Amino acid sequence: MNVGVIGSTGYAGQQLVWLLNNHKEVNISFLASHSYSDNIYSSIYKNYRDFMQDICINIHEVYESLSSVDIVFIALPHGKSMEITKKLLSKGVKVIDLGADFRLKSLKMYEQWYELSHKKKDLLTESIYGLPELHKDSIRNAKIVANPGCYPTASILALAPLIKNNLIDISTIVIDAKSGVSGAGRALNLGTLFCECNESVKAYKVGEHRHTPEIEQELSLLANKEITLLFTPHLIPMNRGILATCYSRATKKLSSDDLHDIYREFYFEDYFIRIGEDIPETKWVRGSNFCDIGMRFDKRSGNIVIVSAIDNLIKGAAGQALQNMNIMCGFDEWEGLNFPSMIP
Amino acid sequence: MNVGVIGSTGYAGQQLVWLLNNHKEVNISFLASHSYSDNIYSSIYKNYRDFMQDICINIHEVYESLSSVDIVFIALPHGKSMEITKKLLSKGVKVIDLGADFRLKSLKMYEQWYELSHKKKDLLTESIYGLPELHKDSIRNAKIVANPGCYPTASILALAPLIKNNLIDISTIVIDAKSGVSGAGRALNLGTLFCECNESVKAYKVGEHRHTPEIEQELSLLANKEITLLFTPHLIPMNRGILATCYSRATKKLSSDDLHDIYREFYFEDYFIRIGEDIPETKWVRGSNFCDIGMRFDKRSGNIVIVSAIDNLIKGAAGQALQNMNIMCGFDEWEGLNFPSMIP
Amino acid sequence: MNVGVIGSTGYAGQQLVWLLNNHKEVNISFLASHSYSDNIYSSIYKNYRDFMQDICINIHEVYESLSSVDIVFIALPHGKSMEITKKLLSKGVKVIDLGADFRLKSLKMYEQWYELSHKKKDLLTESIYGLPELHKDSIRNAKIVANPGCYPTASILALAPLIKNNLIDISTIVIDAKSGVSGAGRALNLGTLFCECNESVKAYKVGEHRHTPEIEQELSLLANKEITLLFTPHLIPMNRGILATCYSRATKKLSSDDLHDIYREFYFEDYFIRIGEDIPETKWVRGSNFCDIGMRFDKRSGNIVIVSAIDNLIKGAAGQALQNMNIMCGFDEWEGLNFPSMIP
Amino acid sequence: MNVGVIGSTGYAGQQLVWLLNNHKEVNISFLASHSYSDNIYSSIYKNYRDFMQDICINIHEVYESLSSVDIVFIALPHGKSMEITKKLLSKGVKVIDLGADFRLKSLKMYEQWYELSHKKKDLLTESIYGLPELHKDSIRNAKIVANPGCYPTASILALAPLIKNNLIDISTIVIDAKSGVSGAGRALNLGTLFCECNESVKAYKVGEHRHTPEIEQELSLLANKEITLLFTPHLIPMNRGILATCYSRATKKLSSDDLHDIYREFYFEDYFIRIGEDIPETKWVRGSNFCDIGMRFDKRSGNIVIVSAIDNLIKGAAGQALQNMNIMCGFDEWEGLNFPSMIP
C-alpha cells in the first residue's frame, strides 16, 4: 500500500503520519504541506527525528508523485479539498478526506453552514460518510471517503442506538460536548494561546457550530425523519479528547441495564466501541482509536443520558481515517490501531 | 466585627480567610481546624507568611473563644456542622454555614440525599438559604445562613429569571455543569491526584449529585410548582471555576435580545451578576465574586441555553459567605469583594 | 494621583490596570493600546466589565491627554518606548517603563543584546533601575524608572546578599530559571499555543537570553567587579510564576541557617521579600507582589543553592512598577499591593 | 517469552503492561499487585478494557505461578523487592527490578541514603545496573538487572560523554532536573493533588534526593574517580517527562559543534539516544523510549550545558526495563519500543 498525505503538518495530519508509520502494510509515498513545503518533516515535528526524513512537498509536486499511489489522505481546512480531490480521482487515486467538504450530502446545507459555494457538487453523491460503525459496507467500495468530524463521531456514536431503536423523542436531543484544544488546530489564534485557554472553560458557537448539520444528517438517516437538535461545544484546557454528554427524553421507561444491553447489541461487531457500566472519561481513550460509551436512564426526570469519549485526533480524525483505509483495503479494521490509551 | 472560621484549612475555608483578611471591617478572632489544630496557619498555607501568624485552634477551644465574636463561619463537610451550629447559636453567635446541613428545608430530602439523619431538625426552619440575589431580605435578619453549594449557585442564578417569568417548560430542564478540581476539596482521593484528572474530562454522579435537590428546592419556590430536573456535573482539569450550561424548552418564541433584557431586569439591583451578550468563560470571573451570565435562544431547536460562570470557591462558597455577612451586618454588599478577576 | 498606561492590553499592562484599579490613591486618566485603540477596555478583558468602561486611546491621543497626569506607565516591547519616554518627560510627566529600553546603563550592551540602536542615549544616565530592594533612594527622586525584567527580579534578589557579603566565587554563578507562559506575552506565536507548551518543558536561549546583561549589570555593581554568569530560562506549562534556582560555589563553609540569617538581615526592611526555611514554590506568591527566597548550603558539593519565587507579572512587572510608583509618590511601599497569593 | 509483573498497578507498572502488551514476543503470565489483588486489571485501568482481562494476583500466588516464567519485572517501592528477588532467582527466574534496591553497589550508600538495612547484600554484586547505553554487555548475561531511576537515566546519559572524554572539571557538576508529576507515583499524597501542584513549580529535596548517589556511582565509574555533584529536582505541572539541565565547567575551549560530534560518536550505536542541534523539549520524547540530548558551550562563562529529555515512565522506567529484557533475550533492542512520541 502506497499512500500520500496532503496537509501532513496540521495536528490531524501529523497524527495520521504517526499511525501510518505504525501500520505494517503501509508505505508513505509523500508528505505534502502548504505551510512547510521544502522543510524536512522531522524539523517541524521533532519527535520524528530518525523516523521521517522526508521533505514536505507542495501540492504541485503531489500531482507528479501519484504513480503507484493507492490512497491519498487530505487533512486541509474546509473548502480546500474539493478540487484536489477531483484531480486525484481523475488519476485513479482513492481519497480519504479528513476535512468537511464531502460530508454533507445536501449542497444547500453545505453552502449555508460553511458560507462557501461548493465547486465539485457532483462528487457529493459519490462520497461516503466514513463512520465505519454505520457505513462499513459502503466504505468498502468507496472512492471518496468523507471522514467524519470529531464532534459528530462522538455524538453520532452516542445517539445512534437510541434513534435506531426508537427510544427517544427525537425533538428533545441536546448534545453538550467538551473538547481539548487540539481540536482548534495549529493555526495562530488568540483563543488558543496557552494563557487564554488554560485554567478556563467556555462554551462557544452555541447552536451554531458547523458540525451540527453533519450530526443531524446522520441521525436523520437513522430515524428516517428530519432531526433538528441542539449542539453546544465547549473548550477544555487539555490537549486531546472529546466528551459528548447527550441528553434526550425517553419514550418509555428503561433501566440503565436495558440501555446497556441495547448498546452492546447495536455495536456487537464494532471493535472500537466499548460499552461500559461506568461513565467514560477521556483519559481511557486518549491516544487510541476507541470510543467508550456509558449511559444512564434518569428515572427522576425521564431523560436518557449517553456519554461518549473519544480522542479527537484519532477516532475523531486520523485513526478513523486509517480505520476507513483498512476497510477499503480489506485489512483487519484494527490493523495499526490495536493499542489502548497510554496513561497518565 | 469579630469573626471566627471553623474549617479554615480546607480550600473554601482558606479562601474565606483570604477574603476576610482583605475586608476592612473584619477582625479574625480565631481560625479553627480539625486537621491542623495547633499548627501555625501560615505553615499550612505559606502564602500567609507575614499575614496570618495565628495558631489553628480545635473545636473545644472555639467554644472558649466566643466572647465578643459576632459571626462564625463553618466550612466543614456535611454532617459536621449541625451540633456546632446549635451550640454557637445558643451562645448568641450568628452562623454562616458553608456546608450542606441547613440548605434543604425538607428533612426527608436531606436524609435521602445525604444518607444521614439530621440531628438538629428544628434549625432547618430557622436557617435562610443564603443566595443574596433571591433572599436578600431574609438574610438581613438571619441567625443561620445556609450558604449555597457551588453548583447550585451557578445553576439557580442561571435559571431563576426564566422560571420567574414563565418562559420555559419546567419539565425540560437539563443542567450540564463543569467544575474545576478544587470543588472536590483537599482530602486525599485517588480521583483528584494530578495525574488522574489532568488531561482528562469526565461526567460523574450523573443524575445523582447531592446538589440536585438544592437546585430543585430553590427553583420550585420560584415556580411555585415542584420542579424535577437533570443535573450532570463534570470534572475539568483546572483549579477553579464552574461553568453551568443550562438547557430548557422555551414556551414561546424569544430572541436572544429579549432574553438579555429579561435577565438585566431581573438582576437589575444585583451587583455581582453581570449579564453579557457574550457567552461567559470562567476565566473572566476566576478569583472574583462575580457571576457572568450569557444566553441564546436557539430558534432551530426551540431551546433556551443559559450559560453561567462563577469561581466555585468565591461566589460558589467563601465570597458568597462574605456577601451574606455584609448583608447581615449592614455593610455594602461588595465590601471586601469589589475586585475583578485577575488574569491570566 | 493621575496616571496613564501605554501598552495597557498586553499581559503586563492589564495586570497593572488591575493593580491601579485596586489602589486607593490612583485615578487612571487613560489606557492606551497599539493593538486595540478605539475599543472599550472591558471588551478586550471581560473581567473588567462594570469596572473599566474606558475606550483605549492611541499614542497620538496620549500626548493630548497629559495635562494633570503625574506618571505614565509604559508596557511596550523593547525599542518602542525610547521616543515616547522623551516626549513624556518633556511635558513634565514621570515615566515608569516596564520594557527593556532603559535598563542597561551600557549603550554597547543594549545594542549588542537587543540588536537595535538606542535612539535616546542621553536618557540612559538619567534612568534608575527600579528594583526597590536595591535602589529605593534613587527611585524616590527618579524621573524615569526602568522597571526590571521578570527573570532579573527573581535572579538579582536571590543572589544580591551572597555577593554583597562576598560569600561566593563570582565566576561560578549559574541561574536556572523556570517561567510560566505569560512571560512570553500575548503575541501570536506557535510556541505559546496551548498544545505546543502544555504537557512539556523546554530550555530556551541557553546562555543567550536578553535578561543576562541586566542581571550581570546589577550583580556587578554589588560586587564592584565585572560578573559574567550563565543564565538558562525554561518554559513551564503554567500561566504565571518564575522560580529561579541559583547555584554558586561558596568561598567558605556555612550552614543553611547562617545563610538564612544573612538573608534576613540583608532584606530586613524590605516588605516584599520573605526569607523562609522552606524552599519556595511559585504558588505561594502567585497573584501577589512577594518574592519568597529559600536557601541551602550543600556541604557535599560546596555549592550554595538559592531559590527565589515571584509572580512574573506582579513582582516581575506590574506590581514592581506600582511599588516604584508608591516610592516615587511617598506612599507606603505596599499601598495597593498588600495582599497574599490567592490559592489554589 | 513468558513474563510476570509484580507491582503492575503503579504508574511505572501499568506503563510496563502497556509496552509488554505491544511486544510481539511476549506473553504476560501474571499481573501482581499489592493494592489491587483479586481485582480485574481493566477495572483499575479502564484503558485496558478488551485488552487485559487478567485478575491481579497477590505475592503468594506469584510464587505458585512461576513455572515456565522466564523473567519477572518488579515495580515496587524501595525496600520491597529484596526478598522477592531472592526467591525468584532461587526458582531460576530472571529479575528486572524497576525499584532502587539493587542499584547502588555500595551497601553503605544504600543504607545511608535509603535509611534501611539491606536484607540481601549478596545480590548487590550480582546485579547489573541496567543502563543499556553504558552496560549492554553485562546486561546480556545478567540475572538481576537493577533498572535505573528516572532522574539518573536522564542525568547520566547527559553527562557520560563529557566525563568519558575528560572535558569537564568533575568537581563542578550541577544537575537541575524538572519532572512531571507521575514521577511521584500514584500514592495518596497532599503534594500530588491536582490543586496542589497545578499552576506551580517547586524545587524539592535540594541536594538530598536519593537519586544522587546513583548518578554519582555511574559517573564515578566513568571518571575512574570519586565524583560528588549537586542534584536538584523540581516538580512541574505536567503528567510525564523529565528535562535535565546539566552544568559543568569545561576544561578546555570547545564549540557547541565539537560537543555535538563528541556526543554523536559516544552514542553512535545507541538506538534510543538522539543527539540534536536543538535544545530538547520533553514533548518530543513523551510516550516514547527516546532520550534527546542537546548541548551548548557557553563561551562567556566557560560552562558546558547539556540538556537531556526523557519520558520518566518509559526511558526512565518501563521502557528501559523492556529494552533490558530485549537485550537479555537477544531480541532487537527496540522491539516493542520502536515508535516516536505521539503529540500534542
Chunk chain D into consecutive blocks of 10 residues (it has 344) and report each block's average pLDDT, rounded to whole numbers: 97 98 97 96 96 95 95 96 96 97 96 94 95 98 98 98 97 98 96 98 97 98 98 98 98 92 97 96 98 97 98 98 98 97 97
* C-beta atoms of A286 and B199 within 8 A: yes
- Domains with residue ranges and CATH for chain B: 2-126 (3.40.50.720), 150-312 (3.30.360.10)
**Over the Cα atoms of chain C, what is R_g?**
19
Q: How far apart are CA B154 and CA B316, in angstroms?
A: 7
Among partner residues C201, C232, C301, which is closest to D236 by beta-carbon distance? Answer: C201
Enumerate the residues of chain D whose CB falls inside 8 A of the CB of residue A15: 342
Residues B312 and B181: beta-carbon distance below 8 Å: no
Distance between CA B296 and CA A231 in Å, rounded?
A: 12
**C195 in contact with chain A, both atoms CB, cutoff 8 A:** yes
Tell if the CB–CB gap between A188 and C186 is shorter than 8 Å: no
A314 DSSP 8-state letter: I
| C-alpha pair distances (Å), C61 with each of C34, C58, C66, C205, D100 | 11, 5, 9, 38, 67
Can you give the pLDDT at residue C184? 95
Residue C153 near residue C286 (C-beta atoms within 8 A): no
Q: Is B237 on the interface with C (CB under 8 A)?
A: no
Indicate the helix (H) or strand (E) that contains C110: helix C107-114
- As given in the structure block, the three cell numbers for residue C53 are 468602561
Please tell me if residue B339 touches chain C, with a CB cutoff of 8 Å: yes
Give chain A's length: 344
pLDDT of residue B137: 97
Q: In what order do the strands lie in the sheet with A303-310?
A: A202-203, A230-235, A174-179, A242-249, A303-310, A291-298, A273-275
Kindly determine whether residue C192 and residue A190, on different chains, have CB atoms separated by under 8 Å.
no
Residues 6+ away with beta carbon under 8 Å from A281? A243, A309, B200, B201, B202, D46
Question: Are B273 and B133 contacting, i.e. CB atoms less than 8 angstroms apart?
Answer: yes
- Judge: A279–B195 Cβ closer than 8 Å, yes or no: no
Buried b (16+ CB within 10 A) or exposed e, B128-162: bbbbbbbbbeebeebbbbbbbbbbbbbbbbbbbbb
Q: Which helix (H) or strand (E) holds A20?
A: helix A11-21
Residues A248-271 have pLDDT tens digits of 999 998 988 999 999 999 999 999
* SS3 category, D241: coil
Burial of D91 (0-12, 13-18, 19+ CB in 10 A): exposed
C287 → closest Cβ in B283, B340, B342: B342
Q: Which of C239, C244, C247 is nearest to C154 (CA)?
A: C244
Transcribe B17-71 into DSSP letters: HHHHHT-TT-EEEEEE-SSSTTSBHHHHSGGGTTT--PBPB-HHHHHTS-TT--E
Are D301 and C230 within 8 A, CB to CB? Answer: yes
Among D14, D193, D239, D312, pick the best mutation site for testing chain B contact (most B Cβ within 10 A): D193
Flag if C192 and A193 touch (Cβ within 8 Å).
Answer: yes
**Residues B179/B242, Cβ–Cβ less than 8 Å:** yes
A182 touching chain C per CB within 8 A: yes
Packed helices B150-164 and B132-140: angle between N→C axes, nearest 10 degrees: 100
A337 touches chain C (CB under 8 A): no
- Can you give the pLDDT at residue D174? 98
Amino acid symbol at D3 = V
Are the C-beta atoms of residues C140 and C130 closer than 8 Å to each other?
no
Residue in C188, C196, C239 nearest the CB of A198? C239
The span from the CA of D54 to the CA of D33, in Å, is 12
Q: How far is D242 from chain B (nearest CA, A)?
A: 15
Question: Which of D329, D331, D239, D316 is CA-nearest to residue D75?
Answer: D316
Q: Which of A315, A306, A341, A1 is nearest to A133 (CA)?
A: A315
Amino acid, res. A299: K
> Does the beta-carbon distance from D192 to B195 stay under 8 Å?
yes
Q: Which of B188, B195, B236 to mutate to test the interface with D (most CBs of D within 10 A)?
A: B195
Q: What percent of chain C shows pLDDT beyond 70?
A: 100
Provide the pLDDT for residue A33.
97
> Is B320 within 8 Å of B289 (Cβ atoms)?
yes
Chain A: give the shortest CA distance to residue B268, in Å: 25
A191: contact with B, CB 8 A cutoff: no
**Which pLDDT score is estimated for B196?**
98
Q: Per the structure block, which three cell numbers stand in for B307?
A: 450559560
Peptide bond just before C344 cis, omega within 30 deg: yes
Q: Collapsing DSSP states into helix, strand and coil, what is residue A141? A: coil
Asked if D298 and D304 touch (Cβ cutoff 8 Å), the reply is: yes
Predicted confidence at residue A86, as pLDDT, reads 97
CA distance C195 to A93: 33
SS (H, E, C) B196-225: HHCCCCEECCCCCCCCHHHHHHHHHHHHCC
**b/e sequence D273-307, b meaning 16+ C-beta within 10 Å:** bbbbeebbbbbbbbbbbbbbbbbbbbeebbbbbbb
Mean pLDDT of chain C: 97
> How far does CA C26 lie from the centroid of its chain?
21
What string of DSSP letters covers D29-82? EEEE-SSSTTSBHHHHSGGGTTT--PBPB-HHHHHTS-TT--EEEE---TTSSH
CA distances, D216 to each of D31, D174, D223 (Å) = 34, 11, 10
Whether the CB of A342 is below 8 Å from some CB of chain C: the reply is no
Handedness of CA B22, B25, B30, B34 (dihedral sign): negative
Question: What percentage of chain D exceeds 90 in pLDDT?
Answer: 98
- 3 state DSSP class of D330: coil
Chain B interface, best mutation among A151, A179, A200, by max B CB count within 10 A: A200
Q: Annotate B110-167 with DSSP letters as a single string.
A: HHHHH-S--S-THHHHH-EE--HHHHHHHHHT-SEEEPPPHHHHHHHHHHHHHHHTT-
Among D199, D306, D161, smallest CA distance to D243 is for D306
| Candidate from C48, C182, C281 with C-beta closest to B340 | C48
Q: How far is D189 from chain B (nearest CA, A)?
A: 7
Using CA coordinates, name the residue in chain B closest to D197.
Answer: B194
CB contact, 8 Å: D283 with chain C? yes
**Contact with chain B for residue A226, Cβ under 8 A:** no
Chain A residues lying within 8 Å of D22, measured CB to CB: 339
Tell me the catalytic residues of A. Answer: 150
Which among A22, A46, A342 has CB closest to D287? A342
- Location of C-alpha cell 473572566: B284
> Mutate which of C182, C189, C194 to disrupt the A interface (most A C-beta within 10 Å)?
C194
**Average pLDDT estimate for A101-127:** 95
- Taking only Cα atoms into account, the Rg of chain B, rounded to an integer number of angstroms, comes to 19
Q: Secondary structure of chain A: what % helix, strand, coil (to 5)?
A: 35, 20, 45
Contacts of B195 in chain C (CB under 8 A): none
Q: How do the pLDDT tens digits run along chain B, 344 residues long?
A: 999 999 999 999 999 999 999 999 999 999 999 999 999 999 999 999 999 989 999 999 999 999 999 999 999 999 999 999 999 999 999 999 999 999 999 999 999 999 999 999 999 999 999 999 999 999 999 999 999 999 999 999 999 999 999 999 999 999 999 999 999 999 999 999 999 999 999 999 999 999 999 999 999 999 999 999 999 999 999 999 999 999 999 999 898 899 999 999 999 999 999 999 999 999 999 999 999 999 999 999 999 999 999 999 999 999 999 999 999 999 999 999 999 999 99
Q: D174 touching C, CB under 8 A?
A: yes
Nearest CA in chain C to A235: C194
Q: Where are the beta strands (DSSP E) in chain D?
A: 2-6, 27-32, 71-74, 94-97, 128-129, 144-146, 168-179, 202-203, 230-235, 242-250, 273-275, 291-298, 303-310
Q: CA C54, C60, C62: angle at the middle one, nearest 5?
A: 50
CB distance D344–C174 less than 8 Å? no
Nearest CA in chain B to C18: B342
Partners of D45 on chain A (C-beta within 8 Å) are 343
* Residue C170: per-residue pLDDT: 97
ipTM comes to 0.97
The answer to whether B197 is a known catalytic residue is: no
Residues of A (239-268) whose Cβ lies below 8 Å from B:
239-241, 243, 245, 247, 249
Contact by Cβ (8 Å): A207, B307:
no
Report whether D233 contacts C195 (CB < 8 A).
Answer: no
The whole-angstrom distance between C228's CA and the closest CA on chain D is 6
Task: Report the alpha-carbon distance of residue A57 to residue A75 in Å, rounded.
Answer: 14
Report d(CA B342, CA C19) in Å as an integer.
9
Q: Output the pLDDT for position A22.
A: 95
Strands (E), A49-158: 71-74, 94-97, 128-129, 144-146
Instruction: Return d(Cα D284, Cα A326) in angstroms, integer.
Output: 28
Task: Find how far residue D26's CA is from the centre of its chain.
Answer: 21
Three-state DSSP class for residue B279: coil
B50 in contact with C, Cβ within 8 Å: yes
Can you read off the three cell numbers belonging to residue B279?
457567552
**Whether the bond into A148 is cis, omega within 30 of 0:** no
The minimum CA-CA distance between D45 and chain A, rounded to whole Å, is 8
Residue D239 to residue B190, Cβ atoms within 8 A = no
Angle at B302 between CA B298 and CA B306, to 5 degrees: 55
Q: How far apart are the first and last CA of chain D?
A: 34
Q: Which of C102, C239, C232 is nearest to C183 (CA)?
A: C239
* Out of C46, C51, C344, closest to residue B182 by CB: C344
Residue C193's DSSP bridge partners are A193
